[in-house]
């Protein structure tokens, strides 16, 4: 799995068809979850806390990670 500068992605127990990941910053604070969102048929990022702030670099990490999950899924 790719190493990111501003975030880390920890795989949680997967559902039967999809994966789930906890998203943490480098201070190990949980920022949210990446998981499959059935209505949109794609992986999405869900924040867990109010008041969490993201800059463009952190968001780019999350976007790149989700794009890689979607590419992996399309190869199946």
CB 61 within 8 A of CB 51: no
Q: Check pLDDT > 80 for residue 1.
A: no
**What Å distances lie between residue 32 and 68, 74, 75, CA to CA?**
18, 24, 26
What distance lies between CA 55 and its chain's CA centroid?
15
Average pLDDT on 8-22 reads 91
- pTM of the predicted model as reported, rounded to 2 decimal places: 0.89
Strands of the sheet containing 20-25, edge to edge, are 7-11, 20-25, 30-37, 42-47
**Residue 63 to residue 43: CA distance in whole angstroms:** 10
What band does 38 get if pLDDT is binned at 50, 70 and 90? Answer: very high
Average pLDDT on 5-20 reads 91
């Amino acid at each position: 799995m790719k190493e990111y500068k501003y975030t880390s992605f920890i795989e949680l127990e997967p559902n039967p068809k999809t994966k789930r990941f906890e998203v943490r910053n480098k201070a190990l604070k949980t920022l949210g979850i990446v998981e499959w969102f059935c209505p949109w048929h794609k992986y999405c990022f869900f924040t867990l806390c109010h008041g969490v702030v993201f800059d463009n670099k952190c968001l780019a990490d999350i976007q790149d990670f989700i794009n890689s999950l979607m590419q992996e899924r399309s190869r199946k």
